[in-house]
């Protein structure tokens, strides 16, 4: 295995292209729907606060954070962090994103199983990330100049462990994200925050947001399988 493996580069280029397409599609959809004003004329902040109250959640704050597409729910300090465009926005995009992040808060409050599993995997994910960083800068060169100290098979096993962790985490993230979107669409529709047409647009925007996680999961799986095949060939 070379330091810059052609097989790995091929996987990287393929998923880089797919990721670029999905990201562009996502930005295009959110820009398009950000130009569509809600009939209800509610801001993202107002929608988030209403959704939290409807689910009897009173210990979560809705705050504005700088940046674009920086929206997220932080379970550690129980805050729904919305970018200015979403926090102040009164568009279909703002409504979709605000409700989606509230969906994560509802998951947290109801002890959603996949969210608990993902949270439990965070320390392993962090350890795997640090290990891969060490592999790139220290252990990979060592396998080439001193194979007796760090055999190639040992290096491959470490990489397989790391990418196994990445893959597990990314696939567990998928139901978390899809469920949050489903909760969001169901609530804004049933609560009549959006019209039928606006509901379709919100669902379309969140679908493309979820696709970014699908691409990451598939890329991680492809890389894991690639290293696994390399290891099996050397046995």
pLDDT of 3 strictly over 80 = no
pTM assigned to the model: 0.87
What residues contact 62, with CB distance under 8 A and at least 6 apart?
45, 48, 49, 52, 79, 80, 82, 87
Report pLDDT for 39: 96
| Catalytic residue list | 101
Average pLDDT over residues 175-181: 98
Instruction: Please give the C-alpha separations between residue 55 and each of 46, 81, 83, 156, 220, in angstroms, as whole numbers.
Output: 14, 18, 23, 47, 35
* Predicted pLDDT of residue 146: 62
209-222: b (≥16 Cβ within 10 Å) or e: bbbbbbbbbbbbbb
Of the candidate ranges 15-24, 104-113, 173-182, the one whose mean pLDDT is the lowest: 15-24
Q: What is the DSSP letter of 77?
A: T
Dist CA 5 CA 155 (whole Å): 14
Q: What is the pLDDT of residues 39-96, one digit of tens each?
A: 999 999 999 999 999 999 999 999 999 998 899 999 999 999 999 999 999 999 999 9
Distances (CA, A) of 122 to 55, 60, 110, 175: 27, 22, 20, 16
Nearest C-alpha neighbor of 21 from the set 186, 214, 180, 192: 214
- Return the domain boundaries, the chain: 6-234
- What tokens does 45 get? 């902040």
Give me the pLDDT at residue 102, please: 98
């Amino acid at each position: 295995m070379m330091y810059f493996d052609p097989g790995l580069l091929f996987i990287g280029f393929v998923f880089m292209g797919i990721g670029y397409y999905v990201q562009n599609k996502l930005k295009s959809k959110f820009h398009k729907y950000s130009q569509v004003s809600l009939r209800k004329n509610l801001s993202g902040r107002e929608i988030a606060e209403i959704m939290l109250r409807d689910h009897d959640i009173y210990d979560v704050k809705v705050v504005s954070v700088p940046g674009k597409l920086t929206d997220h729910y932080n379970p550690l300090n129980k805050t729904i962090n919305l970018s200015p465009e979403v926090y102040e926005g009164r568009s279909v995009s703002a409504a979709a994103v605000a409700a989606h992040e509230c969906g994560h808060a509802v998951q947290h409050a109801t002890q959603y199983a996949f969210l608990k599993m993902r949270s439990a995997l965070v320390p392993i994910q962090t350890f795997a990330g640090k290990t891969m960083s060490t592999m790139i800068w220290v252990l990979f060169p060592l396998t080439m100049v001193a194979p007796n100290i760090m055999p190639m098979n040992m290096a491959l096993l470490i990489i397989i462990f790391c990418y196994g962790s990445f893959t597990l985490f990314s696939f567990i993230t998928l139901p978390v994200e899809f469920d949050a979107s489903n909760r969001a669409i169901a609530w804004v529709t049933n609560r009549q925050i959006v019209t039928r047409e606006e509901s379709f647009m919100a669902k379309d925007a969140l679908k493309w947001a979820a696709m970014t996680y699908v691409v990451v999961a598939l890329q991680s799986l492809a890389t894991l399988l690639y290293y696994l095949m390399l290891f099996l060939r050397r046995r």
